[in-house]
Amino acid sequence: MDRRTTIQWMLAAAASTRLLGNRALADIPGAAPPRGRGYGTDPDLSRIYKPGELWPPTFTPEQRRTATALSDLIIPLDAHSPSASAVGVIDFLDEWVSAPYPEQAADRKTILEGFAWLDQEAQRRFKGNFARLDEARMRSICDEICYLPRAKPELRRAAEFFARYRDLTAGGFYTTPQGRSDLQFIGNVPRKRFDGPPPEVLKRVGLA
């Protein structure tokens, strides 16, 4: 699961119908619903809000460890850019699943149940929680659910969780300055002058 593959998957997912809907893996005992008060008024967009100011965060410390391990497995540190967790993706994910809106509420259920499945699978195979496994063992679990079309029927729900989590991780990462740099995105950069399209381009499209 390298960074370029992640980008390809993210773009493919954006062009296809969302597969998750409101399906879930299993109920988690004691999982409380989001505690925000609904839509309310728009936030003050001139302010910079700290995590937890708009609604209480969801992730427990153990869930944050799982989120960090999985996000960094999807987008690890490499020679070009930092890992997902190093640029605040875990805070983004926690903020996302804590929001009191229908789409985020569905993602919250999917992700928390996915974390529980990862820990159950890690305990079954290796007698330890997912976040505390070495990279090779984490990969051995994720390799079976990282590509939805090829997932075994009994792992389909886990693969749906992974697909959604991967897309959110990639979305959080590639909207940071470091992520845009990794994509070699050159937009949103002011220029001192703009000379317009070169004559050869205008000629090719019949405008010169």
**3-class SS string, the chain:** CCHHHHHHHHHHHHCCCCCCCCCCCCCCCCCCCCCCCCCCCCCCCCCCCCCCCCCCCCCCHHHHHHHHHHHHHHCCCCCCCCCCHHHCHHHHHHHHHHCCCHHHHHHHHHHHHHHHHHHHHHHHHHCCCHHHCCHHHHHHHHCCCCCHHHCCHHHHHHHHHHHHHHHHHHHHHHCCHHHHHHCCCCCCCCCCCCCCCCHHHHHHCCCC
pLDDT of residue 40: 63
pLDDT of residue 22: 41
pTM of this prediction? 0.73
AA identity, residue 7: I
pLDDT of residue 37: 59
pLDDT of residue 8: 52
Q: Which domain holds residue 71?
A: 3-31+50-187
Q: Which regions in the chain score pLDDT beneath 50?
A: 15-24, 26
Domain count, the chain: 1
pLDDT of residue 38: 58
